[in-house]
Chain A
Amino acid sequence: MDKSKVYKSEEVRLKRLAKRLMLPHSYKKVGAWLLGLSFLALVILKINMGELGIYRTALKQLMLVGLLFMAISKEEIEDEMIVNLRAQAFSLSFICGIIYALVQPYINYGVAAVVAPEKAIYEEFGTFIILWFMLTVHLLFFYVLKKAR
């Protein structure tokens, strides 16, 4: 099969997928509610139950889902500039996320080594912290870019 045909069909498929991945504007509110409610539930359960076990993980994942909904839901008027700004925000947050994941553990270790050398251990971040950081940075960048336009 011709290579260019394969590339072309892949391009069409990816573009279609990117379009389908975007949620309607109303999902922005759904995401905000999901984030707020799961955060509240996490705080309330933590106060009442102490150790949460599987619920803690599930609620944290719900918070990430809420942030994701907010990140991939369309604006009221979704024009080419918004698409452009979203792409910029995604790329910036992706780069920031990688730098954060690579550098921050060393900073934490360095600070711990200065403050309490006996407790200083190198610890890598879990997926939750990195995903949380990337999604919040994306939302922040997107908001600022939108306001600056």
Chain B
Amino acid sequence: MVYAYRSFVIFLCIKKGALMRNRIKIERATLDITQEELARKIGVSRQTVNSIEKNRYVPSTVLALKISKLFEKSVNDIFELEEED
């Protein structure tokens, strides 16, 4: 029962971010910064950065713009749709 419920919740989270892909991990590696440092710079928690990186959460436009500004790239260079929606 607990497993079924937990799977349902994880499914909800994954489903939400399933259509988006991002290059945050690569960009982060280029700048050599940790998730914690990135989170501090854009004003969110480390868990949120982790969720965005793993495509479990689609960030708002404001957050996407903050991330793209930090990496000095356009939003389209960092985030892209996985399929036509």
Report A's interface with B, CB cutoff 8 A: 75-77, 79-82, 84, 88, 141, 144-146, 148-149
Closest Cβ of chain B to A88, distance in Å, is: 7
Of the A-B pairs whose beta carbons lie under 8 Å apart in the complex, a sample of 5, sorted by A's number, is A77-B44, A80-B44, A81-B51, A148-B13, A149-B51
Quick one: given A80-B60, A81-B57, A88-B12, are A149 and B47 in contact (CB under 8 Å)? yes
A144-B48 in contact (CB<8A)? no
Closest Cβ of chain A to B22, distance in Å, is: 15
Q: Does B74 contact A (CB under 8 A)?
A: no
With an 8 Å Cβ cutoff, the count of chain B residues facing the other chain is: 19
Q: B59 to chain A: which residues have CB within 8 Å?
A: 80
* Residue of B13, B43, B45 touching A145 (CB-CB under 8 A): B13
**Which DSSP category, helix, strand, loop or mixed, fits chain A's interface?**
helix
B48-A149 in contact (CB<8A)? yes
A148-B6 in contact (CB<8A)? yes
Quick one: given A77-B45, A79-B45, are A144 and B5 in contact (CB under 8 Å)? yes
Instruction: Please measure, in the bound complex, the distance between the C-alpha atom of A145 and the C-alpha atom of B6, giving whole angstroms.
Output: 9
A148-B9 in contact (CB<8A)? yes
Quick one: given A88-B12, A149-B13, A149-B57, are A82 and B6 in contact (CB under 8 Å)? no
Which of B9, B44, B51 has the most A CB atoms < 10 Å from its CB?
B9
A81-B45 in contact (CB<8A)? yes
Q: Which residue of A lies closest to B10 (CB)?
A: A148
B48-A81 in contact (CB<8A)? yes
Instruction: Please measure, in the bound complex, the distance between the C-alpha atom of A149 and the C-alpha atom of B54, giving whole angstroms.
Output: 10
Instruction: Please measure, in the bound complex, the distance between the C-alpha atom of A148 and the C-alpha atom of B8, giving whole angstroms.
Output: 11
Q: Which residue of A lies closest to B48 (CB)?
A: A81
A79-B44 in contact (CB<8A)? yes
Quick one: given A149-B56, A149-B57, are A80 and B9 in contact (CB under 8 Å)? no
A81-B13 in contact (CB<8A)? no
